[in-house]
Structure 1
Amino acid sequence: MRRSSVAGDTGTRQDVRLRTRSVNRVAFWWTKSDKRWKAFEVGLLTLKEWTPDEILATVKNSLAVKLHPERYRQTLADLSLGLLFQKTSTRTRTSFEVGMTQMGGHAVYMDWGATNFALADLKDEAQVLSRYVDGIVARMKHNDDLLNLASGSEVPVINGCCDRYHPCQALGDLLTMYEVRGGLSDLHVVYTGILNNVCNSLIVACTKAGVRITIVTPEINPASKDDELMNAARATGLLEETLDLQDAVRDADFVYTDTWIDMEFFFDESYAEEKQRRIDAFSPYQINEELLESTDAYVMHCLPAHKGYEVTAGVMDSTQCIAVDQAENRMHAQKAVLLRLMECV
């Protein structure tokens, strides 16, 4: 039996599933300042909605899942996960599919263009999908579409990446730091490059987990702008902002970067002028061999990397780079997220 989210109420898996769906419904509130509806879902949309304790518990559970996979082989038996993707994917799709299989569950992959999500009302389709599955991973181009989908879903929605946040990546990053340094105390992370979705989620994860983070970001991706997130992070005293990369990395434990150009635009001819502008603007913020002469920090990258741009090939192929470990840890972190949201831990 699995315990219901209603205190003191227990029943069969099917009974609990029906009851928890009513508890996990999306709640709305009206924000008068911008005249927009905003959705809060008992899922993982931004990481802002998770408490520090929830984040730290998930990191520790991620490590337990990684070290003792045999204990979780049938934990998600009879449960299904819908994977709805607008964007291309290697790591996110594979890690969720394999993760569900390893824990006894089943994942259903849906390419956006091959479904009626591309034709019909998003909320209606989300509500129907949520009657078939126990959770939804949505990898969307736009955050507004993610919120729309979440507002129609009756099961937890996990953000598999959008233009504003990448929370699963950030949880995998925390697990990687925890593993490498034996904990998260007294750590310093430096992020260099463009302030984007990955940077946003990394800022939230670090400041909520008690990790000092310095961002060296001369520009922000317009779609990633989140003043509320930045103000909350600054209030913790753990976020530092500078444009002096050389100075920032001197006492860093980890130096992190991401692509300067969103992957869907990298080979887009219509984006060529903006691509060249960004290359010229961000070249001083590249992670290269010269920069690493002043630090023994580990190098992190969410992948895919454009070698020769945000990071050199030599650095990516060096023993200081732990990007592949990060990629592996995405799966373990996401397994812990699934266990939490499907009420199995």
Structure 2
Amino acid sequence: MSALRNTFMHGLKSVQFKQARNFRVGWTCSGAVRLKGRSFLTLKDFNPDEIKHILKVSADLKHRIKHDGQYLPLLRGKSIAMIFEKRSTRTRMSTETGFALLGGHPCFLTPQDIHLGVNESTKDTARVLSSLTDIVLARVYSHSTLEQLDKEASVPIINGLSDLYHPIQILADLLTLQEHYGSLKGLTLSWIGDGNNVLHSFMMSLPKLGVNLRIATPEGYEPDPNVTQEALRLSKQFATELHLFSEPMEAAQGSNVLVTDTWISMGQEEEKKKRLKDFHGYQITMQTGSVAAPDWTFLHCLPRKSEEVDDEVFYSPRSLVFPEAENRKWTIMGLLVCILTDYSPPISQLKL
């Protein structure tokens, strides 16, 4: 009996060992989508199939790890340098916990740890980190810092946020909407607020996925003209609608998704009094939703202030902000897996 038990346990351990070694229970990436080794600075650089592939991998990881309880150390032996010029809850936690969950080692670098471009040049930092890590995520003030890092580094660079774009936030938003509505194509999203980096990333991605975009910003807070010009070109190319307004209720008309963001970003604290005055009337309320589509929902990338959206909307069943926040983790994991491995899900959890 003892010998039989020992034989059984040996066989079980052998199976477990093989499962641990052969954790890539998926297919290698094939076809036109080639993301391995690429940087991720802006969604402008990614076509519809590439964005969809990232979302599919993200949904696959979420399903297999969260719901099926599988262990997938796809990033075992790899490390990421996380440079944070600007503080963050979701970007840090999603990247740090997600990378570790996939078997890798995250290294968090604050301004006190690394004075990027001050104590050491950005060029030198990029070259040093390239020799020590497999990938770098940087959350910075100026988009040009990311471009310089990307130019000098020999490993991929991910934009964790810049003054121009916030692409990893949009991946989470897209996955959240896909999960809620079952499809992205044909949706209309209304942005009501500042013409900022989050909006710019929506403008560089939504037309490619068949989503219409309606934008309301106060005078003087419009999105970047170059981004707007490119978004108009994309809308024409992919046969979607893009409209710009100055009145929130106009922008919300018939929309499926109402979205806003902070009116006062880090570094704009001195403008607070003026900005609050200029954004008067832009708070999203149930009255805003009264002109939207019957199935309207609400998104906010957080942290949220009550002047941007009232409690009635923010904590209502229409609000997807907390699933949206959780999906920051699954989408950054999906993106990292796409950039660092050849993994592709055997069966897509999303029908995009």
Q: TM-score normalized by structure 2?
A: 0.80
Letter in 2 for 1:328: E
The offset of 1:125, in angstroms, is 1.1
Map 1:1-345 → 2, pairs under 5 A: 42-69=38-65, 70=69, 73-115=72-114, 117=116, 118-219=118-219, 225=224, 227=226, 229-235=227-233, 236-237=235-236, 238=240, 239-266=242-269, 271=270, 274-295=271-292, 296=294, 297-307=296-306, 309-345=307-343
How far residue 104 of structure 1 moved from its aligned partner, in angstroms, is 1.0
Does structure 2 retain, via aligned residues, the 8 Å contact 1:47–1:167? yes
The answer on whether the counterparts of 2:217 and 2:247 sit within 8 Å (CA) in structure 1 is: no
Displacement of 1:219 = 4.3
Provide the residue aligned with 1:37 in structure 2. Answer: none
Distance 1:216 1:77 in 2: 45
Alignment CA distance shift 1:130-1:226 (3 Å): farther
- The C-alpha deviation readout for 1:202-258, integer Å capped at 9, x for no partner, is 111211212111111224659x7250x322211223322122322332321100001
Alpha-carbon spacing, 1:204–1:220, altered in 2? closer, same or farther (3 Å): farther
Percent identity among equivalent residues?
Answer: 33
Distance 1:162 1:220, change over 3 A: farther
Q: Structure 1: which 5+ residue stretches go unaligned?
A: 8-22, 25-41
Q: Which moved more, 1:91-100 or 1:45-54?
A: 45-54
Q: Offset at 1:294?
A: 3.1
Residues 263-283 of structure 1: per-residue CA shift (max 9 Å, x gap): 3434xxxx1xx3222212212
Q: Deviations over 1:183-220 (max 9, x none)?
A: 11210100011100010001112112121111112246
Shift of 1:132: 0.8
2:42 & 2:225 partners in 1: Cα distance? Answer: 11
Q: CA contact under 8 A between 2:74 and 2:341: conserved in structure 1?
A: no
The DSSP-based 3-state class of the residue aligned with 1:263 is coil
Task: Indicate if the aligned counterparts of 1:214 and 1:242 stay in contact, CA closer than 8 A.
Answer: yes
- Distance in 2 separating the partners of 1:334 and 1:137: 10
Please report how far the alpha carbon of residue 62 of structure 1 lies from its aligned counterpart in structure 2 after TM superposition.
Answer: 1.4
Determine the C-alpha separation between the residues in 1 that align with 2:94 and 2:302.
Answer: 14
Change (3 A) 1:116 1:88: closer
Q: Any runs of at least 4 consecutive aligned residues in structure 1 with deviations exceeding 4 A, and if so which?
A: 219-222
- Secondary structure of 2:258 counterpart: strand
The letter for the 1-side match of 2:279 is F
Contact persistence 1:169–1:302 (CA under 8 A): yes
Cα distance in 1 for partners of 2:333, 2:163 equals 23
| Structure 1 residue 343: Cα displacement | 2.4
Give the SS at the match of 2:214. Answer: strand
Cα gap change, 1:148 to 1:102, in 2 (>3 Å): same
Conservation of the 8 A alpha-carbon contact between 2:263 and 2:275: yes
Q: What letter is aligned with 2:253?
A: R
2: distance between equivalents of 1:112 and 1:221?
Answer: 29
Distance 1:193 1:50 in 2: 26
Matched letter for residue 256 of structure 1: V
| CA distance in structure 2 between the partners assigned to 1:179 and 1:46 by the alignment | 23
1:293 offset after TM fit, Å?
2.8
- Equivalent-residue separation in structure 2 for 1:124 and 1:278 (angstroms): 38
Unaligned runs of 5+ in 2: 1-21, 31-35, 344-352
Distance (Å, rounded) in 2 between the aligned partners of 1:141 and 1:318: 33
Secondary structure, aligned partner of 2:164 = coil
- The higher radius of gyration belongs to 2
SS of match in other structure, 2:281: helix
Tell me the TM-score normalised to structure 1 length.
Answer: 0.82
Counterpart-to-counterpart distance in 2, 1:246 and 1:194: 15
Contact 1:187–1:212 at 8 Å: present in 2 too?
A: yes
CA distance in structure 1 between the partners assigned to 2:342 and 2:128 by the alignment:
24
How far apart in 2 are the matches of 1:287 and 1:74?
A: 42
